[in-house]
Structures are given as C-alpha cells and as structure tokens.
Amino acid sequence: MNFKERFCAYANCPPEKYVERVAVRCMHPEHPWLARLYFLWDKESFASDLEMIQRLATTTSFGEFKSEMQTWRSGHPSKGLIRKEWKLRVSGKMLLKLASRVFRHTQPNQPASEAAPSTSKSSASGVSAK
C-alpha cells in the first residue's frame, strides 16, 4: 500500500479527497485556523503544498516519504510574506508526524475497510495526539 491508500484507510477518507484532507490536517501549527480559512478562500496559494502532497501519495515507506519530502522542499523553499513570515502553509513537521502515524498504524496489505484510525482525541490542529 502506498501513503495515499494508507492515509485514506487511516482517516476513512475517499481517495478523491486525499490531497485536501492531508493539507488541512497539516497546516502550520502557529496559525492553524487562519491557515485553514485562507486555504478555503485561496487554494491557489497552496499549489506547491498540494503538489508535494500529491507526489508523496506514491511513497510506500516512512523513509521513502521523508526522503521524497526533503527533496521536494529543497527545490521549493517557502517564500514571501504569507508563506514564510505568516506561516500560512502546510507544515513539513506536521506532515512528517502524520506520515509516521499513518505508516505505523496501517499494515502494508491491510484492506481499507479494516484499517483502524487513531482513537485518541484530535488536537486543535486537527492531527491526533498520540
């Protein structure tokens, strides 16, 4: 199973909502609600983040995920007032935390209907705290 399949099983998410759901869960923790509102208002500003999430969909291990994300980020640094200074973007650290949980809590060949999402309460950032 790749990351997209695992995430969809973990989060009980339809595959066509994968990119948006990952982005919303991984908004920078400094201003999560403001970032989410801005995301709903202007998704084009998050095009680089969305493209990165789409590329990460095919990774099949946490190591591969992390390596691919670092490669992507080195070629696409956060620039500008909104992304760099105000941090209205997807957080790389939040994305790595999510990937770690998803890869840890889903089995490689587990059918989507059998994957058990995290049962702990969600934090304000929308990411389960474990």
pTM of this structure: 0.76
Task: Provide the 3-class DSSP secondary structure of residue 61.
Answer: coil
pLDDT of residue 12: 95
Q: Residue ranges of the domains in the chain?
A: 3-109
Q: Give the tokens for residue 32.
A: 């999560």
Amino acid identity of residue 86, one-letter, is W
Q: What is the pLDDT of residue 18?
A: 97
What's residue 110's pLDDT? 53
CA–CA gap between residue 88 and residue 82 (Å, rounded): 6
pLDDT of res. 109: 59
- Give the total residue count for the chain: 130
Q: Are 49 and 78 in contact (CB under 8 A)?
A: no
State how far the Cα of 82 lies from the Cα of 118, in Å rounded to an integer.
32
User: Which positions of the chain have pLDDT values less than 70?
Assistant: 77, 80, 85, 108-130
Q: Residue 21: its pLDDT value, please? A: 95
